[in-house]
């Protein structure tokens, strides 16, 4: 008789990638207060490139 292994289904992701990025990053502004295309990590202060319409995976990979 074949062994049957039962596993629970993977839990649904609690937060989306966009929600995680919005929580940990804020826009990095220049001297005039204009957006630079970078986001600054609220935890460590590092800047990561992010432009509108692009994926948030670059930002989230920094947090993980």
Give the tens place of pLDDT for each residue, 7-64: 888 888 788 999 999 999 999 999 999 988 899 999 999 999 987 778 888 888 888 7
| pLDDT at res. 58 | 85
30 assigned to some structural domain: yes
- Domain extent for 44: 17-63
Total number of domains in the chain: 1
53 assigned to some structural domain: yes
Confidence of residue 1 (pLDDT cuts 50, 70, 90): low
2 assigned to some structural domain: no
Write out the H or E segment, with its range, that includes residue 57: helix 57-63
22 assigned to some structural domain: yes
Exposure string over 29-39, b if 16+ CB within 10 A, otherwise e: eeeeeeeeebb
The dihedrals phi and psi of 8, each to the nearest 5 degrees, come to -75, 145
DSSP 14: S
58 assigned to some structural domain: yes
| pLDDT at res. 28 | 92
39 assigned to some structural domain: yes
């Amino acid at each position: 008789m074949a062994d049957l292994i039962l596993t629970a289904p993977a839990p649904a992701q609690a937060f989306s990638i966009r929600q995680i990025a919005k929580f940990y990053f804020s826009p990095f502004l220049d001297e005039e207060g204009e957006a630079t295309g970078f986001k600054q990590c609220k935890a460590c202060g590092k800047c990561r490139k992010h432009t509108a319409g692009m994926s948030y995976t670059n930002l989230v990979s920094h947090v993980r």
